[in-house]
Amino acid sequence: MQRESLEFLFHPESVAVVGASADPNSYGYDYLKHLIDYGFPGKVYPINIRRAEVLGLKAYTTLDEVPGRVDYVIGCIALTQVPALLEACARKGTKAVHIFSALGSETGLPEGRALEGEILKKAREYGLRLLGPNCLGIYCPGAKLSFGFDFPNEAGGIGALVQSGGSAIDLVQYGALSGLRFSKVISYGNALDINEGELLEYLAADPPTRVILAFIEGLRVDGREFLELLRRAARAKPVIICKGGRSRAGARCTLSHTASLAGSSGIWDTAIRQAGGIPVRDIDDLVEMAVAFSLLAPIRGRRIGTGGAGGGRNTVSVDEWEENGFEVTALPEVIREDFRKRGSRLWYCLGNPADRSIATAFPGDAFTVPALLMEMAKSDSYDFICANMAGDEHPHSLENYRRVMEEHVDGYIKLYKESPKPFFLIFNSRPLGIKEMDGWRWREIARLRTRLLGAGVPFFPSVDKAAKAINELIAYYRWRDEAD
C-alpha cells in the first residue's frame, strides 16, 4: 500500500513549542533552544501561559493566539492535555504534532491506553499526523531541526528510525565520533500513528538517504507487511536493524518503555536476513556497520593488504583477519622488486603485513607503510586495504612522535583519496580518565583522529569489529546482485 509521503515532517515553515520554558531543566526549554541554536529558518512560536517572552522570542498564551498557520507543533505538556491541544492544532492548519509526553500505553494501565486511543481518534478526525507519544522527535540537519545539543550541523547520507529516544541520541553522538553524518533521525516512541513501516518506506525513497539504520523494540505494523517493506527498501539501499527486547527480560523492558511487544531473537534475525536486512546487536554495531556501508565502496572479495603497526600488533591483526574468514595474501615479488629499484635498502624483507618497525632502521628509506599499502592497492592480488593506526605504541619523544605520526597520517589520507581499492583504518580507542587527558600522547592521538575524521577516512575500533562489518558488506552486495 502506497502511503502519504512524510516529507512535510522534515520541512515545516513554522514551528510552535507548546510548553516552552525559560527553565534550562525543562524539555520546553530544550526544544526551543534547539530551534534557536541550530538556526531554524522558519517562524518559531513559544507557547507559555505565564510569560510574554521566552529566550528572546515573543510568547503566546495559547496556540490560537499565534498569527497565521503553524505547520509543526512540539508538545511538551502532560499527555492529558494533548486532546485539547489537537483541537487547537486543527484550527491552526497544523500538519503534524510531535508528542514528547509520556505516561501513555507504556505504563500498562488501562487509563494510559484509553488516553492514547482518544488522542488517535481526535488526530484522525482532524487530519493530523502524530509522532510519538513518548519520543524525542526529529533531527534533520538540512532543515535545522534537532532534539539534542551539539549534534553535527552538516547533513549526510544516514537515515535512522529509532524507537528509543536515548538510543537516538547515542546513535548520533557516537556516530559523529566515527565520521557519520545524518540525513534524518526520527525518534518515534510509542508509534501511536506514524510507525516504523511508514518511516522505513519514506527513507527508502528519500534521495539524500543512502543507508538506513533502525532501532526497533517492537513492530506496530503487521510482521509480513514489515518484511515486504524491508525487502523493497533493501533492494534500493542497505538497511541495518538493531532489535531491542530479544531476551525475556528485554521483552519486559520494552513493554514498559515504549509499550512494544518483542519477539524471538532467532526468528527475527532469520526473517530480517531473508528480506535482505542486516541484523545487529547494539548501537555500537549500528554505527560500525554504517561506517562500512556509507564510507566504503562495495567490497566483493576477502583478500586483504594490511600493516602499519609494530610486529606484535601486526601478528595479532592478521590472526584476527584470518579467523574471521579473510585471506592475508602474500606480497607479490613484483612489489618487492619495485621498491628495490626505488633504492630501498629494506626491499628484501617487505611483506604483508607492512611492518612499521623495520622502517626505523633506515629513516628516509623509500619504504614507508603508506607507500607499500598504495602498491598493494594497485595490485590485483588484493580486494581491499586496511592500515593499523597504532598511535599508542610508539616509544618516541613528543617531537619525534609528532613527526612520525604526521607522516603516517598524511600518507593514509593520500591513500584514502587515491587508492583504487577500498581503504580504511583500525584506530584503537581506549577509555581514559580525566587525569590521562593531560598526557601529551593521548591529546596527540585525539588530534590525529580529528584530522582523519576531517579528511573523511573511515576507521573501526578493532580488527574484529571491522571484519564483522566487512563480512556484512560482502554478503549484502552478493544478496543484492543475486536479487537483481
Q: Give pTM, 2 decimals.
A: 0.92
List residues bridging with 46 in a β-sheet: 17
Q: Residue 262: its pLDDT value, please?
A: 47
Mean pLDDT of 67-74: 96
pLDDT, one tens digit per residue, over 370-427 is 999 999 999 999 999 999 987 766 677 888 888 888 999 999 999 999 999 999 999 9
Over the stretch 325-354, which tens digit does the pLDDT of each residue have? 999 999 999 999 999 999 999 999 999 999
Residue at 348: amino acid letter: Y
Residue 231's Cα: distance from chain center in Å? 21
From residue 287, alpha-carbon distances to 60, 142, 165 in Å are 41, 21, 16
CA distance 51 to 154: 34
| Residue range(s) of every CATH 3.40.50.261 domain in the chain | 135-295, 298-483
pLDDT at 293 (0 to 100): 98
**Residue 438 clears pLDDT 80, i.e. is over it:** yes
Instruction: Give burial (CB, 10 Å; 0-12/13-18/19+) of 253.
Output: middle
CA dihedral 304, 305, 309, 315 (to 10 degrees): 60
Contact (Cβ atoms closer than 8 angstroms) between residue 62 and residue 91: no
Q: Choose among 71, 210, 74: nearest CA to 139.
A: 74
- Helix or strand or coil: residue 214? strand
Q: Across the chain, what does the average pLDDT equal?
A: 92
User: What's the mean pLDDT in 90-114?
Assistant: 94
Q: Quick one: pLDDT at residue 5?
A: 87
3-state DSSP percent of the chain in helix, strand and coil, to 5:
45, 15, 40
Q: Please list the residue range(s) of the chain that carry CATH number 3.40.50.720.
A: 1-133
CA distance 163 to 190: 7
> What whole-number distance in Å separates Cα of residue 142 and Cα of residue 183?
7
Instruction: Reply yes or no: is the peptide bond before residue 133 cis, omega within 30 of 0.
Output: yes
CB 296 within 8 A of CB 425: no
d(CA 55, CA 29): 8
111-169 pLDDT, tens digit per residue, is 999 999 999 999 999 999 999 999 999 999 999 999 999 999 999 999 999 999 999 99
Max CA separation in the chain (angstroms):
81
Q: Please, is 53 exposed, middle or buried when counting C-beta atoms within 10 Å of its C-beta (0-12, 13-18, 19+)? A: exposed
Identify any residues that bridge with 182 across adjacent strands, giving them in sequence order.
Answer: 158
394 burial (CB, 10 Å; 0-12 / 13-18 / 19+) is middle
- The band of 226, judged by pLDDT with boundaries at 50, 70 and 90, is very high
Q: For residues 211 and 79, what is the distance between their CA atoms, to the nearest angstrom?
A: 34
247: cell is: 531476551
CATH number of 298-483: 3.40.50.261
- pLDDT at position 47 is 98
Mean pLDDT throughout 294-308? 95
What class does CATH assign to 135-295?
Answer: alpha beta
Locate all alpha helices (DSSP H) within 207-282, ordered by sequence. 223-236, 248-258, 265-274
**How many angstroms separate the CA atoms of 249 and 259, rounded?**
14
In this prediction, residue 249 has a pLDDT band, given cuts at 50, 70 and 90, of: very low
Are 146 and 31 contacting, i.e. CB atoms less than 8 angstroms apart? Answer: no
pLDDT interval class at 3 (50, 70, 90) = low
Q: Domain 1-133 class?
A: alpha beta
Of the candidates 423, 307, 399, 404, the one whose C-alpha atom is nearest the C-alpha of residue 356 is 307
